Amino acid sequence: MKYKGIIFDLDGVICSTDHYHYLAWKALADKLGAYFDETINNRLRGVSRMASLDIVLERYDGTLTEEEKLAAAEEKNATYRELLKQMTPADLSDEVKTTLDALRAKGLLLGIGSSSKNTRFILGRIGLGDYFDKISDGTNITRSKPDPEVFVKAAQFLELAPEDCLVVEDAKAGVEAALAAGMDAAAIGDAVSCGLATYNLGRFSDLLRVVE
């Protein structure tokens, strides 16, 4: 096979929490009196919590101290985690689970590369708490995508060279991060339109064709 390991972004690839993110950021923005809509929310995909807050605050008339920013980010995350409690294994599609099982059966190592600090919590909610071989997420990185750090560390955790890893991403910033890490990238969803990926997937199960 072409690869020894596959590193997946979480949100938008394994499952979708976009709507919960939107509701949590909207609640914070409304409290601050800052305009926020779906278009702005789309800019936050793959971006760290604090960088996301800076984007939200672009439409805020006031000024927050660093301490207030940290408090606001924590408030958003508390709201988000409460919303995530609505997630169940039903939020994991049969196609994704079947494809993951087939990739594992081929002997591939499977990892997660996500900017989210809630990665393990989300995986637990959808029934994949102990499924992946290694996880690199917002708890072990200092720079968000398109910086390659999250994928570089994922490969290190898997004990694989970058060229032996394929990254699956649904955001342009994630594809850029994968390529910057020296890895091939498979784009799915919105990332297909960026035209940067090594492969473009029409659906998740297309991965089985890519790795052969």
| CATH number for position 153 | 3.40.50.1000
Per-residue confidence (pLDDT) for residue 45, from 0 to 100: 78
Q: Provide the pLDDT confidence category of residue 212 given band limits of 50, 70 and 90.
A: confident
**126 lies in the same domain as 32:** no
Question: What digits encode the pLDDT tens for the residues 139-166?
Answer: 999 998 999 999 999 999 999 999 999 9
> Which of 29, 50, 84 corresponds to the end of one domain?
84
Active-site annotation holds for 11: yes
Per-residue confidence (pLDDT) for residue 184, from 0 to 100: 98
**46 lies in the same domain as 9:** no
Of the residues 11, 147, 170, 184, only one is catalytic, namely: 11
The share of the chain scoring above pLDDT 90, in percent, equals 92
> Which of 84, 104, 129 corresponds to the end of one domain?
84
**111 lies in the same domain as 200:** yes
Please compute the mean of the pLDDT values over residues 29-51 and round it to a whole number.
91
Per-residue confidence (pLDDT) for residue 54, from 0 to 100: 97
For residue 186, what are the domain limits? 5-16+89-211
Say if residue 66's pLDDT is above 90.
Answer: yes
Split into its structural domains, the chain has a count of: 2
Q: Provide the pLDDT confidence category of residue 48 given band limits of 50, 70 and 90.
A: confident
**123 lies in the same domain as 49:** no
**111 lies in the same domain as 181:** yes
Q: Edge to edge, what strands does the sheet with 5-8 contain? A: 134-136, 109-113, 5-8, 165-169, 184-188, 199-201
Cα pseudo-dihedral 72, 139, 128, 169, rounded to 10: 90
Run of H or E residues at 49 = helix 49-56
**77 lies in the same domain as 127:** no
**101 lies in the same domain as 194:** yes
Per-residue confidence (pLDDT) for residue 209, from 0 to 100: 96
CA angle 34, 46, 23 (to 5 degrees): 40
Per-residue confidence (pLDDT) for residue 169, from 0 to 100: 97
Per-residue confidence (pLDDT) for residue 151, from 0 to 100: 98
Per-residue confidence (pLDDT) for residue 189, from 0 to 100: 94
Per-residue confidence (pLDDT) for residue 111, from 0 to 100: 98
Active-site annotation holds for 206: no
Say if residue 17's pLDDT is above 80.
Answer: yes
Average pLDDT, the chain: 96
**121 lies in the same domain as 64:** no
Q: Note whether 7 and 165 are within 8 A (CB).
A: yes
**102 lies in the same domain as 169:** yes
The share of the chain scoring above pLDDT 70, in percent, equals 100
Q: What is the pTM of this model?
A: 0.88
Question: What digits encode the pLDDT tens for the residues 80-102?
Answer: 999 999 999 999 999 999 999 99
**157 lies in the same domain as 71:** no
> Which of 32, 65, 84 corresponds to the end of one domain?
84
Of the residues 9, 147, 170, 184, only one is catalytic, namely: 9
On the CB side of 174, CA atoms within 13 Å amount to 33
Please compute the mean of the pLDDT values over residues 56-70 and round it to a whole number.
96
**78 lies in the same domain as 167:** no
**CATH number reported for the structural domain that contains residue 42 in this entry:** 1.10.150.240
Question: What digits encode the pLDDT tens for the residues 174-189?
Answer: 999 999 999 999 999 9
**32 lies in the same domain as 108:** no
**Integer Cα distance of 65 and 63 in angstroms:** 7
